[in-house]
Amino acid sequence: MAKKVVLACSECSSRNYTTEKRDSASGSRLEIKKYCKKCGKHTLHRETK
């Protein structure tokens, strides 16, 4: 079973992306480098609560 999570830019805190994360994954938060439209560059996006 997968759970929907929201990804926020680490620089501007804009919530740009949603993705799915498996429940069996470790307790750590997901971190992915993605393009932020607001910043205009690739930044680290972290899973929000």
pTM > 0.85: no
Q: Per the structure block, which two tokens stand in for 7?
A: 């990804």
Mean pLDDT by 10 residues, the chain (49 residues): 92 94 80 95 94
Structural domain tally of the chain? 1
Question: Residue 48: CB partners within 8 Å, gap ≥ 6?
Answer: 5, 6, 7, 8, 15
pLDDT for residue 28 = 86
- Give the span between the Cα atoms of 37 and 39, in whole angstroms: 6
The residue range of the domain holding 36 is: 2-22+29-47
pLDDT for residue 22 = 86
pLDDT for residue 23 = 77
pLDDT for residue 17 = 96
pLDDT for residue 7 = 96
Instruction: Return the closest-CA partner of residue 36 out of 6, 10, 4, 2.
Output: 10
CATH of the domain at 35: 2.20.28.120
